[in-house]
Amino acid sequence: MLSLGPIIFGLILGLVIGSQIKLNVSDAKFTKASFIVILIAGIIVAWQSGNYPFYTDLPISTAFLSALIGIFVGKLLFARSK
């Protein structure tokens, strides 16, 4: 059975923190392609973490992945660029 707790609260915490990401404030340019690379790197980290924290529903860390998705969604929905 899929454990909903880490998914729901990972998304909420990710939304909370992702809402503070502001791009175009430094001289380093981050485009959509950069975020796709970060997403792929995050999926690899989540895969290598295994089913942390010891839930046996999926062979991937659902808390990590939902936090990453929450950060991106929070950045897209709530972040204000300067």
Partner 1 sequence: MSQGSVILKLISLPISILLICLGIMTILGGHITPGGGFQGGAMIASGIILSVLVYGLGNSPLELSHLYIEVFESVGALGFVIFGLIGLFVGGFYLYNFGTDLLNVVPAAIQSVFHYPDVTNAGIIPYLNIFVGLKVFAGLSAIVIAFAGFKKIVEEGE
Extract the tokens encoding 71: 């950060």
Q: What DSSP character marks residue 18?
A: H
Specify the 3-state DSSP secondary structure of 40: helix
| Residue among 33, 36, 60, 64 that touches partner 1 (CB under 8 A) | 64
Sequence-separated (6 or more) residues with CB below 8 Å from residue 7: 62, 63, 66
Site pattern 13..52 for partner 1 (x: CB under 8 A): xx-xx--xxxx-xxxx-x---x--xx--xx--x---x--x
| Residue among 31, 47, 68, 78 that touches partner 1 (CB under 8 A) | 68
Interface size with partner 1, residues (CB under 8 A): 38
Cα–Cα distance for residue pair 52/73, rounded to 1 Å: 23
Summarize as ranges the residues that interact with partner 1 (CB under 8 A): 1, 3-6, 8-10, 13-14, 16-17, 20-23, 25-28, 30, 34, 37-38, 41-42, 45, 49, 52-55, 61, 63-64, 67-68, 71
